[in-house]
Structure 1
Amino acid sequence: MKMLPKVLMFVGALLLLTLFLTPLWSITLEAPQYPDGITMYIWINKITGDTEHTLQNINILNHYVGMQYIEPDSIPELKYFPYIIVTMAALGLLISFKANRKLILSWVIIMVVLGILGMYDFYLWEYDYGHNLDPKAPIKVPGMAYQPPVFGSKMLLNFNAISYPYWGGLFLGLSIIMAIAAFFTARKTTGSK
């Protein structure tokens, strides 16, 4: 039982590193001209699509309604998010050797705060892309904004925009859950002495 909180915290911290292997979030656009949908994947350090031309196709569609081009190289978050993840994974691994309740709780709180800030930043990014439209766009619909949902689905003209966590987002959540389990297991272990 003594090892359980250490193992939970260790595995939870390692799970953060899966964010380099799988996207954090996905946004799919479904429409009559795209019956299978086109999907954009948001990683912690890049944006890709389900094909090599997905991002180009989305940018062409965005151009018609006046949205900005999605240029991953110009998004600062994609440059510094990897450092945050590596730092939090390293801290989590160090904390796992001691399995100190206060340190585990501090790590969980920091991760939750970072998660909330990350979701808020994602919302602001989507808001800017969906509302800051070029007035010279070929297609103008008065009062229409093209912000995809942060979570769920939403009709944008004839497109159904579907936004959900991808495997990386699920692993991130599981990482925090494992750290919470480590905290409670460490507490029970300490309390039973």
Structure 2
Amino acid sequence: MKKIDSINRLLVLISALLMISAYFTPLWQISLWAPQYPEGLNMKIWIDKLSGDVDIINGVNHYIGMKHIGVEMFPEFTYLIYVFAFIIGFGILAAWIARRWAAYTFLGLISLLGIGVLVDMYLWGYDYGHNLDQMAAIKVPGMAYQPPLIGYKELLNFLAYSGPDTGGWIISVSGILLLFVIIRFFIQDKKANHPNQNI
């Protein structure tokens, strides 16, 4: 298997180390704005906990029959810390052994993590927004309150936003760095196959 050069090794290592930020920064955020909350309400989702205006959001959502948001809603909190640790450890190993297959595998693991998180967030949002208490004080026939997966969405008199927070963006940078490494592989191969061609 082909080895990778020192620059690519460094980029792979940086990519792995950047992911450590997931243990210290929120990964995702959901925000709500309404006339009665012009300053907005914000919930931050970390690797193993929730923070922000969770209690206020629960109080508002109670009237339309949405479930109480709590750590118990996210069984992922019990194992995400280990998933991240494995991927980070593999990334450091990939930089150490300096083989292309390891860099490809590392990128694949980050990609699977990202896809898994998005699918999981969508399924949670669907259940949270559709399975409502039929005894709720406010009922709008046919209305669902599923928050957006990414971006903005109007829900009654609220404007909802969902998207990556600090940790999520840093992990995105990790993936972009690895993608850059893969692109460098193709450029290096092209130069090797056409040594007299300027690229």
Q: Same fold (TM over 0.5)?
A: yes
Partners of 1:6 and 1:64 lie apart in 2 by: 54
- Correspondence for 1:31: 34
Shift of 1:186: 5.0
Shift of 1:189: 5.5
Deviations 1:38-71 (A, max 9, x none): 111111211111xxxx111111111100000001
Structure number with the bigger relative contact order (C-alpha 8 A, sep ≥ 6) is: 1
154-163 or 69-78: bigger deviation: 69-78
Shift of 1:165: 1.1
Shift of 1:183: 3.1
- Correspondence for 1:47: 50
Q: Does 1:60 align with 2:59?
A: yes
Structure 1: which 5+ runs fail to align?
none
RMSD: 1.8
CA contact (8 A) 2:43 2:51 kept: yes
Q: Percent identity?
A: 41
Alignment of 1:138-177 (within 5 A): 138-177=137-176
With normalisation by structure 1, the TM-score equals: 0.92
Structure 2: which 5+ runs fail to align?
none
Partners of 2:163 and 2:117 lie apart in 1 by: 14
Alignment of 1:129-140 (within 5 A): 129-140=128-139
Alignment of 1:1-193 (within 5 A): 2-49=5-52, 54-186=53-185, 192=192
With normalisation by structure 2, the TM-score equals: 0.89
The aligned length equals 189
**AA of the residue aligned to 2:11:** L
Dislocated runs of 4+, deviation >4 Å: 186-193
**AA of the residue aligned to 2:126:** Y
